[in-house]
Structure 1
Amino acid sequence: MSIESPGLITVAAYGRGAASARVRLHDWVDHLQIPAVSWEYAGTRDAAPRTLGRRLPAAVRAEVRLRRDACRVDNSTVLLSRAASPFSNGGLESRLLSTARRGVYDFDDSLAHYPDSALRRAWSRRRVWQRSLASADQVIAGNATLAEEARAAAPAGTPVTVVPSCIEPSSYRPKSSYEGRETPRVVWLGSPATEAFLVAVARSLRACLDRVGGRITVISAGEGPLGALAPVADRVTWSADALSLLADADVGIMPLPDTPFTRGKCAYKLLQYGATALPVVASPVGVNRDVVTGCGGWAPATDTEWDDALTEVLTAPEYLRASAGRAALAHVQENYSFASWEPTWRKLVLG
């Protein structure tokens, strides 16, 4: 972990395999080709005790390096995503941000309402968030809901600015045909932690898929039970290559329960579907509502509405699905691409 006065240091408690660190830090640095030093803790996809236990020597080395080097960043800009260590209560993050020449704190989840386990509460995400907000020169929130929470918790006068999770549409294979087919296909893209949101609407989805003879592709690193969807589901392990399968589906879905935590979600799945020119169906929760409306999609709020919405899109004429897919792509290109937000991000992070 060299710290010979780099201009920019990106810091996260996860490696590139974690969606948040990849989307909020690494994708920006890679896209803009900015020289930067990356502090990725132990480089894992998550910070679960079981995961870190398998890489215990790397985790110990990361803790030693972080605590040694946190006071040596005074000539650099530090861009911190959520937390620097899974074993911190905010003191480490506060030191990094306050010592840096410019300390920028970025977050994309409602950390004020994060559903921590009993073990995780020993190192509270909420306390890390609060102390980071108090120490940052600039706060970047993934959506307006998160920005409101940050403004309420941060010291008066702390600049808080929204920069959504952005995407490069040209990196995705666009859907080219919207013809009806014998076996319609739904796709859900997510993580082990969010599979519960899919399972919560499994019965409604299953009813629709049985009616139209369809199946669902589940792209995730998870392996948990899928409830009523299991007989009609095809699991695909998440990878960058797996994203090419999005264009083979007829519709992309993002169900969410309505809770204080989920209202802070940044709708990144919808942006990925949109970049693929897929019609979208999503719960109208938090920023999902704005994205699905902009994409010309469907926004079911109840189990019955989920069944009806999916049935409608899967049985719609080809021209209607094509229109919805193209509208989704246009909305993502105009409002959520790197090109749309590059000037703002550069100014906030690099000054």
Structure 2
Amino acid sequence: MRILFLIPYPSGQAPSQRFRFEQYLDILRQKGHVYKLAPFLDDTTWRILYQPGQAVRKALGILRGFGRRLGHVLAALRYDFIFVHREAAPLGPPIFEWLLANVLRKKIIYDFDDAIWLSNTSEANKMAAGLKWHHKVESICRWAYKNSCGNEYLATYARQFNASTVVNPTTIDTVHLHNQVRDQLALGPLVIGWTGTHSTLKYLLPLVPVLAQLEAEGFEFEFRVISNQPPEFNQPLRSLRFVPWQKATEIPDLLTFHVGLMPLEDDPWAKGKCAFKALQYMALGIPALVSPVGMNTEVVQDDYNGYICRTPSEWHQRLRQLLTDSAHRQALGAAARATIEQRYSVNANTPNFLQLFS
């Protein structure tokens, strides 16, 4: 079987690619399948994409991407399956997908892990927002051989247009990557942590007063934020420490956490989130505190492997509890790790992933 992966970004860089299909590539190879990764963006454009300015270089990089993508479509004749992650091109109508499905008659596996049919404009992408053509998702779902969706909310949307839709959750490689567990009983400074990209830093804002209250009550802890950009809060926190995200230190940095946070707003976009932050924390034996939004309530079981926090007072109560009870953190962390191994690991999901290509 030959598979062409049409992907937005260079391999090994973007979390959605790394944790949705790149970690299955060795398994595909071991099964005797042949694949090729075909990114839209080159390395140079990817490095500057979310930096301010450099509009001309970004535009030229996008144009080069369209040229490469046309070559990929022409090469698709040699492949049995075309795996499209999110979209074949970031701007404009789904021309490439239409050619693949309706002219070349190729079997498209359409994979997405966000509610990408909705507009979700940030400062980084507002210039291109009008060209995103969000409503193309409906058409691609309809043309696909199968839709691969990160959770049931996304799958429910896709099934409106195509019954051949499966839930393929974002998963964690508990053997080769997230293969350590936080010792919650070890001595050292307590760390409340969060990791994510600049686009999701906004979800932390409602928790800043909660953390400030804990500081005022005399709790000694570090609030560690791992991201590609430092946070800008409207209230100072003496506990705040910003750590730039680096792939090389991703796991050691996460293992400094005692508690992991995943707050979300309850809106249609957030409902499409695949609880990725919580999955990462839990795989490392770190209890996750999450908002009751979307897949969070499926992954986190209250008072078993973490906590679901609905109000500022609940966030405050649970953080106080976990900052003072290392044995409870250890028990929650062990249950969290077991949850990931049983339901959201690469090992557990491999048969489901391979079934996409049947």
* Contact preservation (8 Å) 1:78, 1:97: no
Alignment gaps of 5+ in structure 1: 1-5
Q: 2:68 aligns with which of 65, 68, 76?
A: 65
Q: Which deviates the most, 171-180 or 320-329?
A: 171-180
* 1:30 Cα deviation after fit: 4.1
* Contact preservation (8 Å) 2:168, 2:353: yes
* 1:27 Cα deviation after fit: 2.2
* Contact preservation (8 Å) 2:23, 2:173: no
| Counterparts of 1:27 and 1:51, CA distance in 2 | 32
* Contact preservation (8 Å) 1:279, 1:328: yes
| Counterparts of 1:79 and 1:267, CA distance in 2 | 23
* 1:183 Cα deviation after fit: 3.4
The question of 1:197 aligning with 2:193 is answered no
* 1:115 Cα deviation after fit: 1.5
| Counterparts of 2:182 and 2:121, CA distance in 1 | 42
User: 2:159: which partner in 1?
Assistant: 151
| Counterparts of 1:330 and 1:46, CA distance in 2 | 39
Change (3 A) 1:169 1:69: closer
* Contact preservation (8 Å) 2:119, 2:129: no
Q: TM-score, normalised by structure 2?
A: 0.87
* Contact preservation (8 Å) 1:52, 1:59: no
* 1:346 Cα deviation after fit: 0.7
The question of 1:106 aligning with 2:111 is answered yes
* 1:330 Cα deviation after fit: 0.1
Change (3 A) 1:223 1:53: farther
Q: 2:259 aligns with which of 251, 254, 270?
A: 251
Task: Map residues 135-174 of structure 1 onto 2, 5 A cutoff.
Answer: 135-152=143-160, 154-155=161-162, 158-170=163-175, 171-174=177-180
* Contact preservation (8 Å) 2:48, 2:58: no
Q: 1:178 aligns with which of 162, 178, 184?
A: 184
SS at structure 1 position matched to 2:84:
strand
Residue-pair matches, total: 341
Alignment gaps of 5+ in structure 2: none
Q: 1:23 aligns with which of 19, 22, 25?
A: 19
Change (3 A) 1:214 1:57: same
User: 1:39: which partner in 2?
Assistant: 38
The question of 1:304 aligning with 2:313 is answered yes
Q: TM-score, normalised by structure 1?
A: 0.89
* Contact preservation (8 Å) 2:305, 2:335: yes
Q: 2:337 aligns with which of 329, 335, 342?
A: 329
| Partner AA of 1:40 in structure 2 | P
Deviations 1:85-133 (A, max 9, x none): 2222222233234435321000000112231365334323522312211
User: 1:232: which partner in 2?
Assistant: 239
| Counterparts of 1:52 and 1:333, CA distance in 2 | 44
* Contact preservation (8 Å) 2:195, 2:225: yes
* Contact preservation (8 Å) 2:28, 2:34: no
Change (3 A) 1:32 1:328: farther
Q: Which deviates the most, 180-189 or 72-81?
A: 180-189
Q: Which has the higher helix share?
A: 1
Q: 2:287 aligns with which of 279, 289, 305?
A: 279
Deviations 1:120-152 (A, max 9, x none): 343235223122112111001000011111112
* 1:46 Cα deviation after fit: 8.3
User: 1:3: which partner in 2?
Assistant: none
| Counterparts of 2:60 and 2:154, CA distance in 1 | 35
